[in-house]
Structure 1
Amino acid sequence: MTIFHSTRSTTDSLTSKQAIRKGIADDGGLFVTDSLGERQIDIAQLTGRSYQEIALDVLSALLPDFTEDELTQCIHDAYGEQWADERITPLKPLGDDYVLELFNGPTSAFKDVALQILPRFMAHTTAQQENERVMILTATSGDTGKAALAGFADVPGTAITVFYPEGKVSEVQELQMTTQSGSNVQVCAVRGNFDDAQSAVKRIFGDTQFAQQLRSESNTVLSSANSINVGRLVPQVVYYFAAYAQLLEQQVINVGDEVEFCVPTGNFGNVLAGYYAKLLGLPVKHLIVASDKNNVLFDFLSTGTYNRQRPFFQTISPSMDILISSNLERMLYYMSDKDTRLIQMLMNDLNQWGAYEVPEAMMTKIQSLFGCGWADEDQVRDCIKECWDRNHYVIDPHTACGYFVMQQIPRDPLTPRVLLSTASPYKFPRVVNESLGLDTTGSDFDCMDELSKATGTKAPEALRDLEHAELRFNTVVDIDGMEDAVHQAAQRN
């Protein structure tokens, strides 16, 4: 049986269901399995298969203690009519390259791919005692929050509390969260940045006294919807295989041909899923990590030194404004040949000194697969305009980081390149309009209408309707007030 344990020790011995319910290991590490890659996906069988069929293959390999019936039901419920495209993640030509649209779900961001199915996974995990409830606790840099809220709203046996950095998400992103319906949801702005909120969430998970208090008072256990939760990460592996299947169908490649993926990412989960796909047998030649001005991942992948002791920039690509990239820890675990002691040491260094350095031989291995680059604000704006002028395709600021980086890296004409597009441009209409030279004098909703008129594209209804949605949450807390907010939410629900 596949066993999950922490990246920092092998003391845990959990099934995938237990790991999903728990979210994060007691020692602060992330759950991994040493059997990853033992079961390979047959890429010769991908052609002509639906997203749902590919998902069943991939998720069966990654979560083997879910039955086929359980996974089939989860997939059916997660990838249905709530998606604007029946292909779920359609692949489209973009000049000489391709773009994989990950934003056709209910909240118009790539997080929907995982957060439509995570609540379904959670429903199949077993409560340790009767009437036990799970409190989903999540910090968001912009998109995870709404996608998690939409997934978990009014799900029986669960409640959800989302923290986002005050003033550091787009107006549309904020409204998506603060107008969320559901009797089991709570949303709080935090005075600080995303890293502050995420670090506090991890501390709350590690507070055993607080965990005992929640269990005794309200029979509540904590879990996460961030990509630290293995159940959030593994559904993202599917769209790499779906992209490959579409390249096969369009006769761009033959079975076995290699593909490069360019991935805008801050927390590393989106690109880590591509690494998992490679371990499962997908012919991935390179994974190109695209950062914004908060280019901590670029510096790490260039030098082997990870240093979060640096200025934090608030940018026009807010979902990537991150200096502590949680999911990198999982990649380091596998690249170190599963050396838990090394990972524990590196994470202690990060915690104590704000930096760590990986061994040279390990770094050579990492750099053979992972490329990197970053874009500043002006380059992001220029690329939104260039992509429209050249391809008649509108991209959001995060995708634009990837578009810029992809143009900087020499292309092999024999290797197709796929840019992962992480969010609808309508989530950031003001920045997109500024970039395209359109009117930005009105509200974000006026900007949406202007963008729609100028480009012939259409704003997703759920975003456009936010203009008249009822505001439900306006709480702002300090970092040290977050635990109390969780406590109050648990008592209310």
Structure 2
Amino acid sequence: MRYISTRGAAAAQDFKGVTLTGLASDGGLYVPENWPAFSREDIAALAGLSYVDTAVAVMRPFVSGVLDDQALKNLCEAAYGQFNHAAVTPLVQLDERHFLLELFHGPTLAFKDVALQLLGHLFEKFLSEEKGQDLTIVGATSGDTGSAAISAVAGRAGVQIVMLHPNGRVSEVQRRQMTTVLDKNVHNVAIDGSFDDAQAIVKAMFNDSDFRKRHRLGAVNSINWARLMAQIVYYFYAAVRLGAPDRKVAFSVPTGNFGDVFAGYAAKKMGLPVEKLIVATNINDILYRALSAGDYSVGNVTPTDAPSMDIQISSNFERLLFDLHGRDAASLAATMAQFEQSRAIQISDAMRQQAATIFSSKRIDPDEMAATMRWASDKAGQVIDPHTAIGLAAARETDLPKDVPVVTLATAHPAKFPDAVSRITGKNAPLPHRLADLYSREERYVELPASRQTIQAYIDAGFQL
């Protein structure tokens, strides 16, 4: 399998190359040169398999030429053996047609663990095969990516990790899951700005070729293809348990950065019978505006009870735009250059109609989110977090055929947002036992301005101020 950049100017790479590189040198994102094709028989053969064996079958074509089946299985067993549910990503039925796919049974209680635990092992394996400079991972988080990435690489040889988060704009649980990890290779930075500011700084660091080479930068954000590859697996795992390939399944995905839902798109392109992917946004609704009206323009970020979705620039949307441009990298590069200059592009009606064959979108306001949290608690016996509630609210508004089951991706454990859960539902959401002492652990992080130059100087100085 070879991977190409969405902007066309970077050299194609194999799976090891894109995993260690992250962002393409031309500023684009890596995508498979061709989508693997799964037949009905291939999908039917997944019935009854464990999560690990499903992962090997689904990811096999993406790692071909780099990892054999046994090596891939060993990595998956190491990544998912520490999850707190035997199914890894279990399905929970809410009513006659709605299901939750619980993605929060990993060590940091968020869906990011499913991909990042595997990515941490991939980094360690690939770096052990080389003798050279450490990999310096730089990332931005709106809440969950940071803790999941840190958990995946803390203490691992050959890796330093620098994680930026917007100061005061993540929940206390989210912050502490990052800042209480005291391993010497972990460096948390609270910036005076938004998540979009943090994400822009990370991208600018990758685009500084001298700095990038000096520190051998690597990525854990969903710009890294390996992350999205790992997320494709749970779409297959859930759909097969609900009757695929003989039954279509719809998925509702709470998303801000478009990574999780793009993994569903990849599953659809591979042959999974996905009826629809519902892109659920909160009031920071750039994806809703893009898919419903063609308006992909940056607005102001409004803080909400779903902070991981408080985003106005969805970096993974570029991967979809690449396909909507007919995989014409030159055309897409010109479009992205326009967006980076003006912070706005208009998506043509033809492209929107093409996207609408797979995607629909719903914008969920705070009242709808709260009502859905109460419905889940009172009617279905499930306490859910605000992000999951946004996905479920969109799912319950769907006008899909009634015989199509709708799976909402439950992206975080409610204990990560105890204040919102308690205020809205009147229920407590205690931390699992393994995190019961989180509030008493020592924290360590630095506060810096939202300045690329300042943060690069901090890294250049060996993580000293």
Q: TM-score, normalised by structure 2?
A: 0.95
Partner in structure 2 of residue 391 of structure 1: 380
What does 1:50-199 correspond to in 2, within 5 Å? 50-64=50-64, 65-80=66-81, 82-96=82-96, 97-125=98-126, 130-199=131-200
Partner in structure 2 of residue 459 of structure 1: 431
What does 1:474-493 correspond to in 2, within 5 Å? 474-480=446-452, 481-489=454-462
Query: Shift in Å at residue 68 of structure 1?
Result: 1.6
Structure-1 separation of matches of 2:324 and 2:200: 24
Partner in structure 1 of residue 445 of structure 2: 473
Structure-2 separation of matches of 1:11 and 1:475: 35
Of residues 328-337 and 232-241 in structure 1, the stretch that sits farther from structure 2 once superposed is 328-337
Query: Shift in Å at residue 421 of structure 1?
Result: 0.3
1:290 aligns with 2:291: no
Structure-1 separation of matches of 2:192 and 2:63: 37
Partner in structure 2 of residue 319 of structure 1: 308
Q: Describe the superposition over 1:80-116 as per-residue Cα deviations: whole angstroms up to 9, x where unpaired.
A: 0x21101000001012211100000000000000010
Query: Shift in Å at residue 127 of structure 1?
Result: 7.7
SS in 2 for 1:146: helix
Partner in structure 2 of residue 256 of structure 1: 246
Code of the aligned partner of 1:377: P
Q: 2:290·2:347 contact (CA, 8 Å) conserved in 1?
A: no
Structure-2 separation of matches of 1:165 and 1:48: 43
Q: 2:187·2:463 contact (CA, 8 Å) conserved in 1?
A: no
Of residues 4-13 and 96-105 in structure 1, the stretch that sits farther from structure 2 once superposed is 4-13
Partner in structure 2 of residue 410 of structure 1: 399
Q: Describe the superposition over 1:213-265 as per-residue Cα deviations: whole angstroms up to 9, x where unpaired.
A: x2xxxxx3100000000111110000001101322xxxxx3633111000000
Query: Shift in Å at residue 46 of structure 1?
Result: 1.5
| Unaligned 5+ runs, structure 1 | 215-219, 248-252, 439-450, 453-457
Q: Describe the superposition over 1:368-404 as per-residue Cα deviations: whole angstroms up to 9, x where unpaired.
A: 1101001112221221112111101011000011111
Q: 2:37·2:271 contact (CA, 8 Å) conserved in 1?
A: no
Code of the aligned partner of 2:219: S
1:240 aligns with 2:235: yes
Q: 2:300·2:312 contact (CA, 8 Å) conserved in 1?
A: no
What does 1:198-237 correspond to in 2, within 5 Å? 198-212=199-213, 214=214, 220-237=215-232
- Pick closer, same or farther for the CA change 1:490–1:5 going to 2, 3 Å: farther
Of residues 316-325 and 340-349 in structure 1, the stretch that sits farther from structure 2 once superposed is 340-349
Structure-1 separation of matches of 2:37 and 2:373: 41
Code of the aligned partner of 1:368: T
Structure-2 separation of matches of 1:267 and 1:191: 21
Q: Describe the superposition over 1:56-80 as per-residue Cα deviations: whole angstroms up to 9, x where unpaired.
A: 0111122212222221111010010
Code of the aligned partner of 1:469: R
SS in 1 for 2:217: strand
Partner in structure 2 of residue 299 of structure 1: 289
SS in 2 for 1:125: helix
Query: Shift in Å at residue 10 of structure 1?
Result: 4.9
Match of 2:363 among 360, 367, 374: 374
Partner in structure 2 of residue 445 of structure 1: none
Structure-2 separation of matches of 1:73 and 1:209: 36
- CA RMSD, 1 decimal: 1.8
Structure-2 separation of matches of 1:22 and 1:320: 26
Structure-1 separation of matches of 2:244 and 2:353: 29
Code of the aligned partner of 2:193: G
SS in 2 for 1:66: coil
Structure-1 separation of matches of 2:144 and 2:10: 33
- Pick closer, same or farther for the CA change 1:254–1:103 going to 2, 3 Å: closer
* Deviation >6 Å, runs of 4+: none
Q: Describe the superposition over 1:183-227 as per-residue Cα deviations: whole angstroms up to 9, x where unpaired.
A: 210001011000011011000011012234x2xxxxx31000000
Partner in structure 2 of residue 455 of structure 1: none
Query: Shift in Å at residue 333 of structure 1?
Result: 1.2
Partner in structure 2 of residue 6 of structure 1: 5
What does 1:332-347 correspond to in 2, within 5 Å? 332-347=321-336
Query: Shift in Å at residue 311 of structure 1?
Result: 2.1
Query: Shift in Å at residue 130 of structure 1?
Result: 2.6
Code of the aligned partner of 2:121: R
- Pick closer, same or farther for the CA change 1:254–1:6 going to 2, 3 Å: closer
Code of the aligned partner of 1:279: K
Structure-2 separation of matches of 1:489 and 1:254: 51
Q: TM-score, normalised by structure 1?
A: 0.90
Q: 1:141·1:320 contact (CA, 8 Å) conserved in 2?
A: yes
Q: 2:127·2:158 contact (CA, 8 Å) conserved in 1?
A: no
SS in 1 for 2:436: helix
Structure-2 separation of matches of 1:295 and 1:417: 22
SS in 2 for 1:117: helix
Code of the aligned partner of 1:464: A
Q: Describe the superposition over 1:254-312 as per-residue Cα deviations: whole angstroms up to 9, x where unpaired.
A: 6331110000000000000001111111100100000011011000000122111x221
Q: 1:70·1:124 contact (CA, 8 Å) conserved in 2?
A: no
Structure-1 separation of matches of 2:386 and 2:435: 17
- Pick closer, same or farther for the CA change 1:118–1:246 going to 2, 3 Å: same
Structure-2 separation of matches of 1:90 and 1:129: 37
Structure-2 separation of matches of 1:168 and 1:299: 24
Q: 1:427·1:463 contact (CA, 8 Å) conserved in 2?
A: no
- Pick closer, same or farther for the CA change 1:485–1:244 going to 2, 3 Å: same
Structure-2 separation of matches of 1:368 and 1:36: 18
Match of 2:261 among 247, 255, 271: 271
